[in-house]
Every structure is written in C-alpha cells, then in structure tokens.
Amino acid sequence: MTRKHKRLVLILACGLGLGSAAALTLTAFSDNLVYFVSPTDLAKSDHTGRQLRLGGLVEQGTVERTSATGSAGVRFKVTDGSADVPVVYKGILPDLFREGQGVIVLGTREPDGVFRASEVLAKHDETYMPKEVADALKKSGRWNPGAGPPPPASTWNEPIKQVTGQPPG
C-alpha cells in the first residue's frame, strides 16, 4: 500500500470510530430524556409506558390515602383546568402536598390511563410556580400574566369565563 492509501484508511477508521462514539452517546442521551407534559397534552397523544413529568394542580376532593400491604399510598387527580389525569403513588408525600396546590409527578402512564408516579414534587412556597406549569396555564387560557398573578387553585375547574372575566371564544 502506498502512503496515500494508508492515510486514507487511517482517516476512514478514525471517522468510523468517531461516528460510532457519537451514535452511542446520542442513543444513551435520548433514553434518559424525560419530557414535561400537562394533562391536556397527555390526553392528546399516546405516551403510554414512557417516563414523563406530569405537571398541574392537585384537583380538589380527589386525594384518597391508602395503606395496602403496609405501605403508604395515595390516589389523586392532576388537572390543568381543561383535562385531568388520575395518579397513583406509593410512598411518602412531600409535606407541602395538598389539594389545590401545584405538583409535578414523575412516572409513566399505564394502558388503562392511570399515571403511576415514582416521585412527587410539591410546590415549595406560595409564590413559586414551575415554568412548565405557568406555560400550561397560559396556553390553556387560564392565566394572562399581564392581568396579574395566576388564578387561585380553587378556580381551576371553573369555566374559563369565570376565571378570566372574559367570555370564551
């Protein structure tokens, strides 16, 4: 082989190695991505079996505590005002978890439509709202930042007309 062919083989081998490393890195990265969805987004598309973060408010009157087989558990619904998703969680809830408060749950959606949570994150103070939850409120028409602070959680299940003071449409 001539020097020119040896250099070409070396460059091709390096390119193949670099391409393989990049492909493996991107594959590993995509497997670890966790998407944020609102209950409305979850209802519109099929995310069954995929690890997701579901954000919204804990719907009033839906928290049911259970203690099956000696472990603490809870069932509740997460809502964004236009859709709600039933959630099942086994474990100890954060101290700030309660009805009407903002929450983000990490888990997967089962084929029966129930979201099985592996982690529950509650809002940490009265003024904090995760960016994703604020965006979902704006997108659904429940909150216009120019009109003031976000609506109280107790009004999320009321028609938009009552929340914004404007007729729908």
Is the pLDDT higher at 106 or at 138?
106
**Cα–Cα dist 142/15, whole Å:** 52
> Cβ(102)–Cβ(153) under 8 Å?
yes
pLDDT of residue 87: 94
> Cβ(104)–Cβ(133) under 8 Å?
yes
Over residues 125-160, the pLDDT tens digits come to: 555 666 777 787 777 776 767 666 666 666 655 655
Report the CATH architecture of 34-123.
Answer: Beta Barrel (2.40)
In this prediction the pTM is 0.60
**Cα–Cα dist 139/135, whole Å:** 6
Over residues 49-95, the pLDDT tens digits come to: 788 888 888 888 899 988 766 677 899 999 888 888 999 999 888 88
List the chain domain ranges: 3-32, 34-123, 131-161
Question: Quick check: 96 pLDDT over 70?
Answer: yes
pLDDT of residue 158: 60
In three-state secondary structure terms, 66 is strand
Over residues 25-44, the pLDDT tens digits come to: 888 877 677 788 888 888 88
The residues, any chain, with a CB within 8 Å of residue 78's CB and separated by 6 or more, are 39, 54, 55, 56, 57, 58, 59, 84, 85, 87, 103, 105, 115
pLDDT of residue 169: 46
pLDDT of residue 163: 45
